Amino acid sequence: MVFELRAAGEGAGVLARVADQLGVHREALRTWVRQAEVDGGKRPGTSTSDAQRITELERENRELRRANEILKAASAYFARELDPRLPR
């Protein structure tokens, strides 16, 4: 609705009117409009799909680091168990 009214030439107070019509807070609508502009390539920023992908990659990175630490600890444990020269 906001984009349609802006395209029709109405600029001042569009967000406030639409927010009142929809029954949402003005700042919430403003945030949604900004994100829609970012997703549409009209405004610089991180798109929704990019943000989701970054979150997934960060989660995967944490899991891999944790698995790596477990494997390092296990290999050190078994190295001590198998090599009689190393202290226990």
pLDDT in tens, 14-37: 888 899 999 999 999 999 999 999
Give CA–CA dist 4/36, Å, rounded: 13
Q: Is the pLDDT of residue 88 over 70?
A: no
pTM greater than 0.75 (yes/no): no
Helix 26-39 to helix 48-82 angle, to the nearest 10 degrees? 80
Give CA–CA dist 30/2, Å, rounded: 10
